[in-house]
A and B are shown apart, each in its own frame.
Chain A
C-alpha cells in the first residue's frame, strides 16, 4: 500500500512539474531561448492569487481564465517589445535574450515584492483529502495534476491538428524551412511567448494551493522548470511530460526512503545522469 501511495504521490507531483515546465518548454522550442523570467511569472501570479483570495474570499480557480487571458496579452506585448528586436542580431541573440529575460525576471519579482510583499504565503483552499481504496488523495494535487494533463493534451491537439499549431511546430523544427513555406515566423515567436507566459500564470494559480510561495523563490522555480525541460529534451513537450512524471516518481520514492536532504538533489542528479547517458533527453529516448 505504501508503494502504491508513493506512486500516486509521485504522479500527482509529476503533474505539477509538467504544469511548471510546459510554458518554458514551448518558448524554448519555438524561439530557441531560455526564458529566465518564467519562474517570476509563476510566483507573481501565485502571490497575486493569495492577495486576490484573501481580499475577496472567492475561489482561486475563478482566476484561471482571467490570468490566462491577461498573461497571454502581456506575454505577447513583452515579446514584441523586448525580444523580437533581438531576432535580427544573429548569433548574439541567444546571449542577449538571456540577459533581457534575466532583467525582466528582476522587474517582475521586485514588482511582486512591492505590491504583495516578500513573505511566504499559502492558501487553505482545496485542502480536502479523499480516501480511495486506502489511498489518500489531495484535492489541490489532483486539480494541479489533472490540469497539467489537460494542458499537455490541449498542446498536443493544437500543435498536431490545427493550422496555427502545425505552423508553430514547423517553426520550432526548422525556422528557415518554415519561412520558405510562407509561415510568419515572427508571429509564431509572439504566439509561443504569449502562450508560454499564460501557462506559467496558470501554474502560479495552482502552485500556491500546493506549496508556500514567495516572490523571491522565482529562481528556484525557473531552475526546476529548466531541469524538467532539459530532462525531456529541450523543446520536446512530450519529453517534458515523461520528465515531469519521472521526476515526481523518483523524488517521491527518494524522499520516503532517503529523506528530505537527498530528495532536493534528485532533479540535478537525474539531469547529470541524462546529460552523460542520453543527452538528447527523455522524449527522444521514449520514441
Chain B
C-alpha cells in the first residue's frame, strides 16, 4: 500500500467524519426544532374575559405535551397574537401565522364570529384546525373540510332552560340576544324551542356589543312580566343586564344567561344578585371524562384559579391535535385532516367526534346554577349535583 493511498484514505476518512458530523448536527438541530402551534387570542376587546380561559387551555395543553416529551420527539411552542376581539384582525393574524410564521399547527380563535371569519382561510390554505371557540353550526356547513368544531353547537346552548321552566308550570318567557353570530344562533334556537314547547315569548330583543345601558331594556322586561328571562350573552352583557334588572328591583322567577356566569369574575362583580342565576356549560369538574381530575389539578397549579369550559375546550383541541400527530406520525396537513375527520378522541370535555362537515357530534351540554356563591350542575338529571332552586330572587 503506497503512502499516497494512505494519505488519500486518511483524507477520505476525515472528510467522512466531518460530513457525518455535519449530517448529525443537522439532524440534531432539526430534532430540536419545536413544533409551533399558532393561534389568535382576543386578549383585548369585549371577548377578553372569556378568551383569557381560551388561551390558558392552549397553554396548559402545550405545557402538558412538553412535559411528556412533546410530539414526534419535538417540543411544542405556542405562538399567538392579540386579535382585539376583531374578526378582520384575526383573519390578518391567521394569514400571518400560515404564510409568514409558517407555524406547523393551528388552534382556532375565540368566539363564533371570529371563527366564522377565519374558517374560509383554513379551507383556502388547507390547514386542519380544531375550533374550540366556534359553537355556530353555520361555520361547519357544506364545503368546510379543514375546520373542526370543538364545542357543542350554539343551538344547544341553555336548551334545558325552557323545559326546566315548563316543568315548574312557567310558560311566559323573555328572550334576549347580543348581536353576534353565536348569540343570534342561540337566541333563534331558543325562540324556535319556545314555539315548539308552546310557550309565550312575551318580550324579545337584540342589542349591540359593546353592550348598551340596559336600564330601559330591563324596564321593558319588567313591563312584559315574564316567568323567566333567557339571555344569549357574553360576559359584559351578562353582567350589565343582571345589574340593570336589580336596579329596577325586578327578579323574574327564572333567570338564565349564557357564558358570563361561568366566569369567576361574574360572582365577584355582581355579588349576591348572582344567586340562583342559571347558565350552561359543555364541561364540568365533576364529569368523569378522560383525565378530567388531572386537567383540573394541573390547571390550578399553573394558573392558580379554577378552569372553565372555555379552557377545557381549548385543552381538548390540543388533545385532538396531539392524538392526530401521534397516530399519523406526521405534521402533513392532509394526513392530519383525514385522521381527525374519521377518528374519535377522548378529551377532558368528552368524546370528540366530527360529523361530515366538521360539526361536533360527541360533546354534550349541561346547565349549572349559582347557589350561595357555588356553581352546581342542575341539568341533565343524570349529572346533577343539586336540584335547581326556584325562584330567582335577585338578592
Contact = CB atoms under 8 A, between A and B. Distances in A.
A129 B218 CA distance: 14
Interface in B239-257: 239-240, 243, 246-250
Interface stretch (B73-81, B265-273, B278-286): B265-273
Given A129-B248, A261-B206, A251 B216 contact: yes
Given A118-B44, A118-B48, A122-B269, A141 B217 contact: no
B212 A255 contact: yes
A255 B223 contact: no
Interface string A248-281: 0001111111011101100000000000000000
A127 B273 contact: yes
A22 interface: no
Contact of A124 (B49, B215, B268): B268
B220 A136 contact: no
Contacts of B249: 129, 131, 136
Contact of B236 (A54, A113, A129, A212): A212
A212 B240 CA distance: 7
A138 interface: yes
Interface stretch (A5-13, A73-81, A167-175): A5-13
B308 to A, nearest CB: 13
B240 A252 contact: no
Given A129-B248, A261-B179, A255 B52 contact: no
A212 B44 contact: no
Contacts of B52: 119
Interface in A177-234: 211-212, 214-217, 220
A260 B217 CA distance: 7
A257 B208 CA distance: 16
B220 A255 contact: yes
Contacts of B247: 127, 129, 136, 138, 141
Given A127-B243, A136-B249, A220 B210 contact: yes
B357 interface: no
Given A214-B48, A259-B207, A123 B216 contact: no
Given A124-B268, A127-B271, A263 B216 contact: yes
Contacts of B46: 120, 214, 217
Nearest to B203: A259
Contacts of A9: 215-216, 219
Contact of B219 (A2, A121, A211, A214): A2
Nearest to B216: A255
**Most A CB within 10 A of own CB, among B217, B240, B247:** B247
Interface in A1-52: 2, 5-6, 9, 13
A120 B85 CA distance: 13
A5 B48 contact: no
Interface of A: 2, 5-6, 9, 13, 54, 113, 117-124, 127, 129, 131, 136, 138, 141, 211-212, 214-217, 220, 251-257, 259-261, 263-264
Interface of B: 43-46, 48-49, 52, 84, 176, 179, 205-208, 210-217, 219-220, 223, 235-236, 239-240, 243, 246-250, 265, 268-271, 273
17 contacts: A5-B219, A9-B215, A118-B45, A122-B270, A124-B269, A124-B271, A127-B271, A138-B248, A214-B48, A216-B45, A216-B84, A220-B210, A251-B212, A251-B213, A256-B216, A263-B207, A263-B217
